[in-house]
Structure 1
Amino acid sequence: MLEDSQTKARILIEALPYIRAFSGKTFVIKYGGSTRGKDGEDSDRTLDQSFADDLVLLVHIGIRPVVVHGGGPDITRMMDRMGLPSRFVDGLRVTDREGMEVVEMVLSGKINRELVTLVQKRGGRAVGLAGRDGNLLVGERKNPDLGFVGRVRSVNTEVLDLLDRHRYVTIVAPVGVDDDGNPLNINADEAASEIAGALKAEKLIMMTDTPGVLGGDKRLIPSLTPSRVRELLSDGTIHGGMVPKISGCLKALDMGVRKAHIIDGRIPHALLLEIFTPEGVGTEIRRDQA
């Protein structure tokens, strides 16, 4: 028993320098839809619950979290139930007007509200937003063939700053708006990186369903620089679904974010392990030395 207590004390002491360094800083966290409980079923929300606990703890020690969540698997399940086809082009969901209604219903309604409720049940204060609220995410269509799939053109940080001053956890559904008031289905990785850049966040943390960036030997690469990332992109080591995540990280760093991380959100309390331990659990991307 004493040994266990000493271990806990050592962990807290090791975390103290990180707590001091990050108090008052903004972290933008992308919480991937593929990490949300077992097969997205309501009966198993263990990962959601541990994530909510982590967010509440971050706020209590002075860190300012902004969460951008995905929800692809949930959208697909809902479209299947409604008899609507799911079609993808280069990893992007083709979104017609009917499909856009489903995207909004799942992201802005179901998932966003679930996460807000979990944070509040654990003693935190949270507000859920869609990217179209307050013109938070203003964008334009990527390609007419993709329908209402959009890219971010500008981020209005006023509403985020207002909620941050009152110590709310802001949880953002990546549904943007165009100049004509039409909703846009925006990739959550892109939305998170754009928000992190606009806020000049201390960290952008991508929580996904992989351990991080893997080398050619399939082992985790714990630390990278943008120049090394570009080498791994050019030789094909980084490929597939990791490309938009890593591209978002690079853009965020270019926009002034200090560090970006890609971590395995399927690990309970992965967020705390990455932030408050020297070794972390995923891949950290830091700026090249001048």
Structure 2
Amino acid sequence: MAGQKENPVITGDMKNNVDRASILIESLPYIRKMRGQTFVIKYGGNAMINEDLKQSVMDDITLLKYIGINPVIVHGGGPDISDMLNKVNKESHFVNGLRYTDDETMGYAQMVLIGKTNKDIVSVLCGKGAKAIGISGIDGNLIEAEKLTEDADGNPIDIGYVGKIKKINTKVISMLANDEYIPVIAPIGVGKNGESYNINADTVAAEVAVALGASKLITLTDVGGVLRKLEDGSDYIIPVLDEKDIKDLVEEGIIKGGMIPKIEGCLDTVLRGVDRAHIIDGRIPHSIILETFTKNGIGTMIVKEKKEHYEYRK
């Protein structure tokens, strides 16, 4: 058309800025869909240890809150507990991957998880402009627990003050999350006589997600997801799994070792009402944002039933 000017050639810094704007536009449908929803995020692994990754995760969680999603954090803290026990020359013992927790160890675990780890996370979030509040399962009887007496196979076990969850009382969590706050939960439960129990953080996150009717359970790990070896020897991250897939992959030995309880725990949450469960690599900067606001996402998503044509992983 006469007089029409050609579009400018975009290069350099302007090209980078345009690419960033395109990423924001790509996120709009997901922001619109997920606004007002609750995400439970299990925070652990290297993302808790590496300072740069910690900052990245807290940036992501702060952003979620600012755009209207309600994140709830459940954190681990095994390395911090081990460090404390080493400082007081108390040896750690593990049974089936769980720390034997006598009365003295329970005291240190409670001190570390509630007094240090929890407050460190709250401090970083608040420093980014979020309003985070640290709580534990003791507060308001949030996590009612009892002594764990059987292992995963039903065999008798005694590992001290390690608990299993009887009930999650969601009133305090919901009150905070549905307001302007980010709840940060330390995985300590309380027994009927007021005794404290150390509880696996993955288990707490799963039970909190179910109790809240969360739309997502996001577990930060030190692996990319469920991996399958290709013919050329490279690893392929399986993007979506349902109940049948998981059963088949366990039988094939592709899902094995410590990944089995993690995956089966995620499956259990979606069978009990959580829409999606995600296992993502917390070593990747901004992994939560990549999973939540991009078309392909990252990691492995677990669903109750896989749709025949999965156009989107969301």
* Equivalent residues of 1:32, 1:207 under 8 A apart: yes
Query: Residues 157-236 of structure 1: matches in 2 within 5 Å?
Result: 157-217=170-230, 218-236=235-253
What's the CA shift for 1:216? 4.7
* Equivalent residues of 1:139, 1:177 under 8 A apart: yes
- Between the aligned partners of 2:16 and 2:229, the Cα distance in structure 1 is 38
Q: Under a length normalisation based on structure 1, what TM-score does the superposition of the two structures give?
A: 0.94
Indicate the RMSD between aligned Cα atoms, in angstroms: 1.4
- Between the aligned partners of 1:19 and 1:62, the Cα distance in structure 2 is 8
- Between the aligned partners of 1:219 and 1:83, the Cα distance in structure 2 is 43
What's the CA shift for 1:26? 0.2
Where 1:30 maps in the other structure, the secondary structure is strand
Where 1:66 maps in the other structure, the secondary structure is strand
Tell me which of 30, 33, 36 is aligned to 1:21: 33
CA 161–4 in structure 1, closer or farther in 2 if over 3 Å, else same = same
Q: Which amino acid aligns with 2:31?
A: I
CA 33–103 in structure 1, closer or farther in 2 if over 3 Å, else same = farther
Q: Which amino acid aligns with 1:208?
A: T
Aligned to 1:8: 20
Q: Under a length normalisation based on structure 2, what TM-score does the superposition of the two structures give?
A: 0.87
- Between the aligned partners of 2:72 and 2:128, the Cα distance in structure 1 is 17
What's the CA shift for 1:33? 4.1
Where 2:228 maps in the other structure, the secondary structure is coil
- Between the aligned partners of 2:255 and 2:112, the Cα distance in structure 1 is 30
Question: Is 1:277 matched with 2:294?
Answer: yes
Structure 2 stretches lacking a partner, 5+ long: 1-12, 150-156, 308-314
Tell me which of 77, 85, 94 is aligned to 2:91: 85
- Between the aligned partners of 2:191 and 2:254, the Cα distance in structure 1 is 36
- Per-residue CA deviation, residues 136-160 of structure 1 (Å, 9 max, x unaligned), is 1111111262001111111000001
* Equivalent residues of 1:33, 1:69 under 8 A apart: no
- Between the aligned partners of 2:49 and 2:281, the Cα distance in structure 1 is 13
* Equivalent residues of 2:131, 2:180 under 8 A apart: yes
Query: Residues 129-140 of structure 1: matches in 2 within 5 Å?
Result: 129-140=135-146
Q: Which amino acid aligns with 2:287?
A: A
Aligned to 1:257: 274
Aligned to 2:166: 153
What's the CA shift for 1:247? 2.1
* Equivalent residues of 1:137, 1:156 under 8 A apart: yes
CA 202–55 in structure 1, closer or farther in 2 if over 3 Å, else same = same
CA 259–197 in structure 1, closer or farther in 2 if over 3 Å, else same = same
What's the CA shift for 1:219? 2.5
Structure 1 stretches lacking a partner, 5+ long: 39-44
What's the CA shift for 1:50? 1.3
CA 285–79 in structure 1, closer or farther in 2 if over 3 Å, else same = same
Aligned to 1:42: none
- Per-residue CA deviation, residues 13-64 of structure 1 (Å, 9 max, x unaligned), is 11111101100000000001442133xxxxxx21111111111110111000
Q: Which amino acid aligns with 1:114?
A: D
Pairs aligned (count): 284
What's the CA shift for 1:86? 1.0
Structure with greater Cα Rg: 2
* Percent of aligned pairs sharing the same letter: 47
